[in-house]
Structure 1
Amino acid sequence: MPEVNLVTAEDLPASSDHEGEAAFFDVDNTLMKGASLFHVARKMYQKKAFTLRDAAGFAWKQAKFVLRGETMEDVHSVRDTALVLAAGIPVETIQTMGEEVFDEMIESKIWPGTLALTQQHLRSGRQVWLLTATPIEVAGVIASRLGLSGALGTVCEIEDGHYTGRLVGDILHGPAKAAAARELAAREHLALARCWAYSDSYNDIPLLSAVGNPVAINPDARLRRHARDNNWPVYDFRSGRRAATWGLRAATGAGIIYGGWKGFGRIRRR
């Protein structure tokens, strides 16, 4: 499995009833609308780290991602472009940028319904982790700001305080997420059969299938079909409607999940 960084928040309130339980959340289109890496690219463009043409390419990929969901082709395309553009950038620049990106761009894109789920799990005494292909520097900021237990994310190679443009291991995506969850479960003494996982993407079925309580959020067409065939709960916060309810009370300790339509985000142009 790929190497992943752990970014851990303070310990959660103790709860013997839910000891050994955790909830794993994907980020892009699950916790937030669109792709978090796009907003990092916007911020880098604002800081003149790359050209308008590079920014336009990210904007086009973001528009496709919001409208149709992710594909492996898009994931690898964004990864490769981002690695090339990040080469030579100081680590401290990206770390500072992660804070700015959350405050200025990501916080307003978080789905209220998904955020409610994370907080309900925390109140129940469960650990809540982000598992995402998003760079660990950004994933860690999101987890910290939301008061979650921590984050597993993609790790970029660093030499002499600068990014090299290469990955450590591979991107944390698809089957790699399931492997990371198993490793985390072993480290944190979690019972996966009593854990939850949330994602929007068919590519995350290995992660969803690894836990006892899989939930589809804002699913793409293939994941929606798979969830229906396997009687998994489905929530679609893009339209504010509750698509399915089976099992969610057990997952969250409450049956009221809210969400709303906020419209598609504008793509700023210069």
Structure 2
Amino acid sequence: MRLAIFDLDNTLLNGDSDHAWGEFLCDQGLVDRQVYREANDRFLEHYQQGTLDIEEFLGFALHPLTRFSQDTLKTLHQRFMQECIEPMMLPAAQALLEQHRQAGDYLLIITATNAFITAPIAERLGVDAILATDPEMSEGEYTGKVAGTPCFREGKVIRLNSWLAESGHSLTGSYFYSDSYNDLPLLEVVDNPVAVNPDAKLLSTAEARNWPVLDLRS
């Protein structure tokens, strides 16, 4: 079965779910609005510039999960989905997923954003599986640390290769759709790399290498 792999933020979604979760926490008064928002914006800027320190960012992003029970987090995420994620849904992205689904492809999201945020989004999009940065848990609660390799840059390739070995899938004929130059390591190993509403550096690379460029936002 051919793999159709998708980045999530700013690819299948018209926005960044990781940043949006931070904004949601600020709006709900669950964190110090000024301090948290400034840091959240700074990390997003570093990501966009290709200078993000992933360990520093994850220390920031995962800490709030340690402050609430699983029941409270579930309730918060349901509200987050309704208020923040649903407005980011792209009909063209859902049509692209359906196109691959009808072709008999296996749909896989691979994202740097942590699994607490993204697993329900993947379920909403109806994909077959998701690889995301995994928050560490102990005795049923989040620790604020990362379990295993962060699913970021070369880490996406590492995580994907481990998943391929476990699942029996291969990259023969595979597709990967992404908006970000940060995903270049994975774009370079699939058979069919596709730039989706790409940032300036990825657009330049895609044009130089004659990769398809899609617009899912029009």
TM range (shorter): 0.7 to 0.9
Residue in structure 2 matching 1:192, options 138, 149, 171: 171
**Amino acid of the residue matched to residue 27 of structure 1?**
L
What residue is the counterpart of 2:37 in the other structure? 56
What residue is the counterpart of 1:34 in the other structure? 15
Given that residues 180 and 202 in structure 2 are in contact (C-alpha distance below 8 angstroms), is that contact kept between their aligned partners in structure 1? yes
Matched pairs, number: 218
What residue is the counterpart of 2:129 in the other structure? 150
Q: 1:99 to 1:179 in 2, by over 3 A?
A: same
In structure 2, runs of 5+ residues without a counterpart are: none
Q: 1:218 to 1:135 in 2, by over 3 A?
A: same
Is 1:25 the equivalent of 2:15?
Answer: no
Q: Would you tell me which structure has more helix in proportion to its own residues?
A: 2
Give the C-alpha shift of residue 199 in structure 1: 0.7
Is 1:69 the equivalent of 2:53?
Answer: no
What residue is the counterpart of 1:173 in the other structure? 152
**Amino acid of the residue matched to residue 82 of structure 1?**
A
Is 1:115 the equivalent of 2:94?
Answer: yes
**Amino acid of the residue matched to residue 81 of structure 1?**
F
Give the C-alpha shift of residue 98 in structure 1: 2.7
Select the structure of larger CA radius of gyration: 1
What residue is the counterpart of 2:196 in the other structure? 217
SS in 2 for 1:128: strand
Q: For the aligned residues, what is the CA RMSD?
A: 2.4
**Amino acid of the residue matched to residue 124 of structure 2?**
R
**Amino acid of the residue matched to residue 216 of structure 1?**
A
Superposed structure 1 runs of 4+ greater than 6 Å apart? none
Distance 1:190 1:75 in 2: 28
Give the C-alpha shift of residue 70 in structure 1: 5.3
In structure 1, runs of 5+ residues without a counterpart are: 1-19, 238-258, 261-270
Distance 2:155 2:164 in 1: 14
Percent identity over paired residues: 31
Q: 1:36 to 1:74 in 2, by over 3 A?
A: farther
Given that residues 90 and 161 in structure 1 are in contact (C-alpha distance below 8 angstroms), is that contact kept between their aligned partners in structure 2? no
**Amino acid of the residue matched to residue 21 of structure 1?**
R
Give the C-alpha shift of residue 47 in structure 1: 4.1
Given that residues 39 and 105 in structure 1 are in contact (C-alpha distance below 8 angstroms), is that contact kept between their aligned partners in structure 2? yes
Distance 1:95 1:131 in 2: 22
Normalising by structure 1, we get a TM-score of 0.72
